Structure 1
């Protein structure tokens, strides 16, 4: 008897119940499909169909014919079953802590606390535990899909550059501006003297903003003030779009005239325009404890090497000889320019606190013991890199769905599926 037959026998046995009251076997459910080493039951299809019909009714839409809906649901369950078996075979699990965090995010998206979310489900007749398990299944499916599909997606530098040069790419990756806006209204039939008075008032408001006044505090005596929020240049009113790109953060414009009056804008914040980050260039020597050198001996060697460097020996030469970081040892321990968050926290903290030229005391991380020498620091404009990253994300999202569809068809064709009548 092979594995599939054994599994099916166990499933069939679980579907029957012997009772004292009745001698015959009572079927509680029936198998509608065999999927590799698992089965799909009619009750699973019925439950999913009922849920979908409720959602369709709640949205005020027309449900498709019952036969068509059941077929689509069965196809969906078959694909899910294949993927969940894949997750099980590689030992993929969602632990309770990860699940609790995910359920908490769902509650927050619905503007509820976790207890409120749980009570809302109970009040609606749903089972909180069943919802939790559904979220667990969705997380497993997502991880299986991402793990298999992401490796199929390749995005070249040329594709990124072509996207950035396109009209859509320029619009989506263009800088964003957050503007405070003040308006001194002027009636359409106002006299020249009234317009001049409004202009002078707008200039006074601009000067007060430059002196540090908050724009909201100036909203009095008919003055209108508001925060326009984050907007792309293409989403700004044309009057402001001609001015904002030339402003720096905190800068206040001269009064801008329109049919409705005089406008004053202040660039509260910008992003994607001149994004700079602090970068550090450093070298390090990594020493790892091993079976022949315990942790204390490893630290002692790090202390010794640090003293040798302080006494004048070359950090580069010692790194080439002793460092166990394969990626940097042959470069004399050179890590190049690194950005905040790129390195493990213990290393980052020690490097940030070191002066240029200083050799740190041994620092322990999950990788072993490090001695670090900071060579230089700089403020680096990363606007170009951010635009490229945004473009790559857009292209990835586009390719992901196509590759996911191809992969799902592939695993469906390779699986053993027997649909029962």
Structure 2
């Protein structure tokens, strides 16, 4: 019960799981190639098997993160694999599936995450010694099985809720010395002033993209020109191909055009916050499209960046003189469309709330917030978006908590999540025991020394 609470509170554990999962295939192959694992089947669950390399690859990947794996941890990891295979077995019986488009979208999401973490697409390719497309194909089966397992698990607990009475009882049952420490959290708002491109800078980029479009219309390969000229590092080496994505995963201006194209058709010039694009439809599957694109960014000069700074300074002076409130100025001046209508309040994409653990805050913002007091508004500081757009931002620190022991008064939503997770865990354990009795399961003799939570050994 306690461990569930801690897991619920620490979002970084979810990221750790994601990292472990995405590297599985590579480590499995590496272990086999180096002859470190003589592979064999160590467990059978229905029609699904677990290979020794499946387990060893997880152990290697977690050890690579500096985590010590003893015999107990090894058995716990094996039990997770047994659970996943049982979920897959039942998913087939219950016709629980995922579409190829959903798998492609999830692979792209994870790849984008890792490219951002490792620094660039090139570094990821160097690490694996494979192209991005090859890496994606190796991960496909792993990701698909994870998605089906997660969907099946969600089905088991779909109707579970917790009442306020249950939340209180859950918290009161925790041993006093096991109530976890809540990390420092911040809530902040900002006014973002982006540097605006000049007419000449915009025209230069537009002429370049127009020239590329003409070359494609005249018979040159879209993918070749994307490799040579596109300024989207994440897709250029794939010939501009983005993989299957839904409408909400693309910026609106891009999405509207992409979903209207016919197969192999080339769009007119599309302008977004990132620059100018031309788009070609590769394939459409229902509400997902796979497109190629070429991006040409507008190169904004120092003069325009200085204009943004001057405007940000002027807005800050209005705050100093109490002419308008921060919230009013955010609605008038901020270039951040996602926060403009919410008075500048920034939302944590990991949780959907406005609270951030310190390690979740954008590094550019963190160095400013770290020096601020609650309620303080800081003078304009330089900013740069993931797309490379430069500007300045004014930050207001709304709340800043200090590390503290969890209480119902200050941390109810977190305790509620933990109580629900505990209830779900109990339901899943009951489900596992019921399905074990109905499913063909065979474990290798070397696994029978494990002290499993569930009755896998018959």
TM bucket normalised to smaller: 0.3 to 0.5
Give the structure with higher Rg (CA). 1
- Say which structure, 1 or 2, has more relative contact order (CA 8 Å, 6+ apart): 2
